[in-house]
Amino acid sequence: MNGRRPLLVGMRTRLLASHIGVIIIAIVVLFVTVRATAPNFFDSHIGNMAMMGGPEGTMMTAEAGQLDDALARSVNEGFLLAAAVALPLGVVVSLLAARQLAGPVRSLAAASRGIAAGDYVQRVPVEGPPELEELARSFNLMAVALEGAERRRIELIGDVAHELRTPVTVLQGYVEALADGVFPASAETWSKLAAETSRLGRLAEELQDLSRAQAGQLAVSISAVSAGGAIRSAAGRLEPAFAEKGLRLDVLAPPGLPNVLADSERLVQVLSSLLSNALRYTPAPGAVSIAARRVGAAIEISVHDTGIGISAEHLPHIFERFYRVDRSRARSSGGTGVGLTIASALVTAMGGALRAESPGAGDGSTFTIVLPVAS
Ligand code: ADP
């Protein structure tokens, strides 16, 4: 309540003062002008009449004095009447205008206070003069954006907690079993512990990249990069894992391919991420290929696999943060659901685009990066 009265009183008083001020100034100016010009005008007319009147002229001059007084009186009365009508009218108009402005302004103030207190569902009615309607629409847009940001923040905390829980629980289980002597301190146990620890480390790195990507702060340093070199470097990193799983990996980079504009390290990171996914989601026996080709002023680098594919229902969502088609399968195979979000943000930061295609579940997938050719 405290914030309400001063708003209305302040607006009402100001409008009232300005309306009354304008009325008084108008009346005073009119009054002064009429009083200054009318008697001269009147006198000169009477003078003309007296001159034309001949012997009756003396009588007319005497009457002219009385007429002068009558004119002054009627001007004064006329202006008093005008003031008596205009001032109350001005007050009524001010009050109506204040009410029309104060309503929407008051709703905006109340909704802003609600948002400041964390109540992001606040919206204001679009009403009042056009400028206030515009302000209300902008306010509502801002409220929708803030509500979305808050929802994503809460979801992110939930997702991160969820992702952390699995490796931590596994580690806890192993450590307790080791302490109780249930598991022997064998090489196999240590390697399981190491796998979970590295999973936690990977998650921490991915979360850092994700937060930078979402804040639009992924640092990339663009230069002319050899697409063939980046492809061979990423494929080289993952070749042992492909061989271990029994998958074929074909690298197709035609000679003479022009350089692309990219961040060389980040490009290798994105290609490695796409190859890791292809490896993860392709059961043996299967094949994965990474190929580059020139299309106009761009180079397309495609990672194609013969794996589990992605159904049309899931395809539009796979670049969303923590989105996984099959949550249980992804967890058991180590995916966190942020790889593609980061890859896409990185490619966009490099001035390119990343797209995904799949004929459907069971029919393999193709991920394509499009980057501009370095001139
Ligand atoms: P994850 O760490 O779970 O792999 P990503 O963001 O890299 O997270 O991928 C998101 C989801 O997209 C995956 O969980 C998976 O369901 C699907 N996906 C990604 N790459 C492929 C692929 N090559 N084949 C089939 N599904 C894929």
Chain segment 124-147, per-residue pLDDT in tens: 999 888 889 999 999 999 999 899
241 plus 347 within the same structural domain: yes
163 plus 187 within the same structural domain: yes
Q: Which long-range contacts (CB under 8 A, 24 or more apart) does 333-341 make?
A: 333/280, 334/199, 334/280, 335/277, 335/280, 336/163, 336/202, 336/203, 336/206, 337/159, 338/206, 338/207, 338/209, 338/210, 339/206, 339/273, 339/276, 339/277, 340/273, 340/277, 341/210, 341/213
For ligand 1, atom 16, the nearest C-alpha belongs to 325
241 plus 203 within the same structural domain: no
Pocket test for ligand 1, best of 166, 203, 214, 318 (most atoms within 8 A of CB): 318
Q: Higher pLDDT residue, 248 or 78?
A: 248
Q: Is 247:279 a contact under the CB 8 Å cutoff?
A: yes
According to the model, what pLDDT value does residue 1 have?
A: 40
145 is a domain residue: no
According to the model, what pLDDT value does residue 2 have?
A: 44
**CA distances for 164 relative to 102, 157, 210, angstroms:** 51, 11, 15
According to the model, what pLDDT value does residue 292 have?
A: 95
103 is a domain residue: yes
User: How far away, in angstroms, is 318 Cα from ligand 1 center?
Assistant: 7
Across 142-158, average pLDDT: 85
* Distance in angstroms (rounded) separating the CA atoms of residues 133 and 124: 10
Beta bridge partners of 147: none
Q: Grade residue 119 by pLDDT with cuts at 50, 70 and 90.
A: very high
237 plus 177 within the same structural domain: no
Kindly tell me if the per-residue pLDDT of 289 is higher than 90. Answer: yes
Cβ of 252: how many Cβ atoms within 10 Å?
13
pTM of the entire predicted model = 0.62
244 plus 337 within the same structural domain: yes
73 is a domain residue: yes
Q: Is 251:231 a contact under the CB 8 Å cutoff?
A: yes
49 plus 71 within the same structural domain: yes
Q: Is 303:367 a contact under the CB 8 Å cutoff?
A: yes
**pLDDT tens-digit profile of 73-112?**
888 888 888 888 888 888 888 888 888 888 889 899 999 9
Q: Grade residue 25 by pLDDT with cuts at 50, 70 and 90.
A: confident
Q: In angstroms, how far is the first alpha carbon of the chain from the final one? A: 65
Pocket of ligand 1 from Cβ distances under 6 Å: 277-278, 281, 305, 307-310, 318, 323-325, 330, 335-341, 365
Instruction: Go through 189-201 and write b for each residue having 16 or more CB atoms within 10 A of its CB, e for each that does not.
Output: eeebbeebeebbe
Q: Grade residue 71 by pLDDT with cuts at 50, 70 and 90.
A: confident
User: How far away, in angstroms, is 315 Cα from ligand 1 center?
Assistant: 10
Q: Higher pLDDT residue, 222 or 214?
A: 222
280 plus 318 within the same structural domain: yes
According to the model, what pLDDT value does residue 311 have?
A: 94
236 is a domain residue: yes
**CA distances for 72 relative to 78, 80, 142, 334, angstroms:** 10, 12, 62, 100
Beta bridge partners of 262: 223
199 plus 306 within the same structural domain: no
Q: For position 170, which CATH number holds?
A: 1.10.287.130
In the chain, helix, strand, coil percent, each to 5?
65, 10, 25
* Distance in angstroms (rounded) separating the CA atoms of residues 40 and 218: 83
Distance of CA 120 to the CA centre of its chain: 15
Q: Is 31:79 a contact under the CB 8 Å cutoff?
A: yes
Among candidate residues 210, 212, 199, 218, the one with its CA nearest the CA of residue 321: 210
Name the percent of the chain lying above pLDDT 90.
Answer: 42
Among candidate residues 161, 44, 23, the one with its CA nearest the CA of residue 91: 23
Q: Grade residue 3 by pLDDT with cuts at 50, 70 and 90.
A: very low
For ligand 1, atom 14, the nearest C-alpha belongs to 324
Domain that holds residue 256: 223-372
Across 23-42, average pLDDT: 82
142 is a domain residue: no
Q: What is the DSSP string of 100-130?
A: HHHHHHHHHHHHHHHHHTT-TT------SSH
12 plus 103 within the same structural domain: yes
Among candidate residues 346, 345, 344, 338, the one with its CA nearest the CA of residue 203: 338
Across 50-73, average pLDDT: 68
138 is a domain residue: no
Q: Grade residue 233 by pLDDT with cuts at 50, 70 and 90.
A: very high
What radius of gyration, in Å, describes the C-alpha atoms of the chain?
41
Kindly tell me if the per-residue pLDDT of 366 is higher than 60. Answer: yes
Kindly tell me if the per-residue pLDDT of 12 is higher than 80. Answer: no
**What are the DSSP E strand ranges found in the chain?**
223-225, 247-252, 260-262, 286-295, 298-305, 353-357, 365-372
User: How far away, in angstroms, is 261 Cα from ligand 1 center?
Assistant: 26
135 is a domain residue: no
Name the percent of the chain lying above pLDDT 70.
Answer: 91
Q: State both tokens at 348.
A: 């966009």
Q: Grade residue 327 by pLDDT with cuts at 50, 70 and 90.
A: low
Q: Is 301:354 a contact under the CB 8 Å cutoff?
A: no
184 plus 325 within the same structural domain: no
Q: For position 296, which CATH number holds?
A: 3.30.565.10
365 plus 248 within the same structural domain: yes
Q: Which of 196, 214, 232 is the endpoint of a domain?
A: 214
Domain count within the chain:
3
79 is a domain residue: yes
Q: Grade residue 117 by pLDDT with cuts at 50, 70 and 90.
A: very high
228 plus 340 within the same structural domain: yes
